[in-house]
Amino acid sequence: MGTIGDGLIYTHIPQRPNPPCFIVSPGSPYVEEGETSNLDDLIIKSLDALETWDIEGVEQPSQFEINGSYFLGTKLTISQDKNL
């Protein structure tokens, strides 16, 4: 597990996520302005940290339920080409 800014990076869906965080998992109208300023800042930090990845899309923020807890979040679709 690593970090981006102040957020932990989970490579699985944790039992109890500790926000702010980024959950990496395999493969809607925008919410009210002002409610997402922290989320927008985290998206920008994560995009900067993923400079070697191709950003394919950023979904509109929505509420996510993870193991009975609800969080405001968004999904980033990223890819990276590797020569094997």
Tell whether 35 is covered by a domain: yes
Of 27 and 24, which is predicted with more confidence? 24
Tell whether 45 is covered by a domain: yes
The residue segments making up the domain with residue 73 are 2-79
Tell whether 84 is covered by a domain: no
- Provide the token pair at 26: 């395999």
Tell whether 52 is covered by a domain: yes
pTM: 0.46
Tell whether 6 is covered by a domain: yes
Tell whether 40 is covered by a domain: yes
Question: Residues 59-77: pLDDT tens digits?
Answer: 888 888 888 888 888 888 8
Please give the DSSP secondary-structure letter assigned to residue 60: P
What dihedral angle (degrees, nearest 10) is formed by the CA atoms of 53, 31, 17, 10? -10
Tell whether 36 is covered by a domain: yes
Q: How many domains does the chain have?
A: 1
